[in-house]
Structure 1
Amino acid sequence: MEPRLNFYKEAPELMNAQMELKKAVDDCGLEKELLHLVNLRTSQINGCSYCVDMHSREARDDGESEQRVFLVSAWKESPLYSPRERAALAWTEQVTLISQGGVPDALYEEALQHFSKSELTKLTIALGMMNIFNRLCIAFHAVHPIRSGKGA
């Protein structure tokens, strides 16, 4: 698959704003490990190979175990995730697939057992940001590092 365009070059003012949002999310106080998991799960759901590769590598570089990275797609059946991480992954799936029934009250109440309202707002903004990146990379065929010969 060949790249269609370089979205950073075509809309630098908006991409700069998106990168500022990414920095704000990275610095918002949510655990780095948690953000890696939800970024990876969002990208898996959306089918963004570029972002799955990037976020799995970033998680590993920051000390996440291979086993936890590999099992994110099957988190419901894995005992490797904390209750807070499980709540975040459930929220991630529902928010990413929001057109398939919204976000049920029960899921919201469960999320509030593990996140403050401020944290849940920050998590939801992080998910929205990741969904934007996924849509850009998928729509414009972002070059996957392995396929371009730049990674292994």
Structure 2
Amino acid sequence: MTEPTAVPEGPLYLDKAAPEIFAAMAGVSKMIAAAAADAGISQQLLELVNLRISQINGCAYCLDVHYEKAVRLGEDPRRLAVLQEWQETTLFDDAESASLELAECITLIPEPAERSEIEDCARAVLGDAGYAVVAWAAISMNAFNRVSITSHHPVS
């Protein structure tokens, strides 16, 4: 029987423990940003998607990072304040609403019929290229949330 090893103190930051994997994830984010520009999806809209997903997943670190980015890109703090209840406002246009709904769908994965309806609506509003960019952004943000939550990244 082997003796148990002592549990190390402090969190293990996955991005530091396997930097090559984290760099690959960051590379995907850069590819999404480039594809967004080609599809007419603004970086500001991608930050709304990132923030909404981080709200759902409860990732304080990512909320902090993407709030700052959104403000730097000129996002209205009032819209950020109500983002969690975006459907209850008239502050978001059709493309933003379709993107946020698609991001929520990808994050929460509702029943197939509801998922299909949301996906069809998003494709109709965003077009295939815009839909693909927002979908990839949502998938990527969900992965980054899990890295930060698992790593216990601090908000300082």
Structure 1 regions of 5+ residues with no counterpart?
A: 146-152
Give the alignment partner of residue 101 of structure 1, picking from 102, 111, 114.
111
Query: What is the CA–CA distance in structure 2 between the aligned matches of 1:26 and 1:73, rounded to whole Å?
Result: 23
Cα deviation, residue 115, structure 1? 1.1
Give the letter for the 1:21 counterpart.
V
Give the alignment partner of residue 35 of structure 1, picking from 41, 46, 50.
46
2:31 is equivalent to residue 24 of structure 1: yes
Structure that is richer in helix per residue = 2
Which has the greater radius of gyration? 2
Query: What is the CA–CA distance in structure 2 between the aligned matches of 1:97 and 1:104, rounded to whole Å?
Result: 10
- The runs of at least 4 consecutive aligned structure 1 residues that moved more than 3 Å come to none
Number of residue pairs the alignment of both structures matches: 143
Cα deviation, residue 123, structure 1? 1.1
Instruction: Give the match's secondary structure for 1:113.
Output: helix
2:57 is equivalent to residue 46 of structure 1: yes
Give the alignment partner of residue 6 of structure 1, picking from 5, 13, 17.
13
C-alpha distance after superposition, 1:92-141 (max 9, x if no partner):
1111011x424522212211221111221121111111001100111110
State the superposition RMSD in angstroms: 1.5
Instruction: Give the match's secondary structure for 1:114.
Output: helix
Give the alignment partner of residue 134 of structure 1, picking from 129, 138, 145.
145
Structure 2 regions of 5+ residues with no counterpart?
A: 1-8
Q: Conserved in 2, the CA contact under 8 Å of 1:84 and 1:114?
A: yes
**TM-score, length-normalised on structure 1?**
0.88
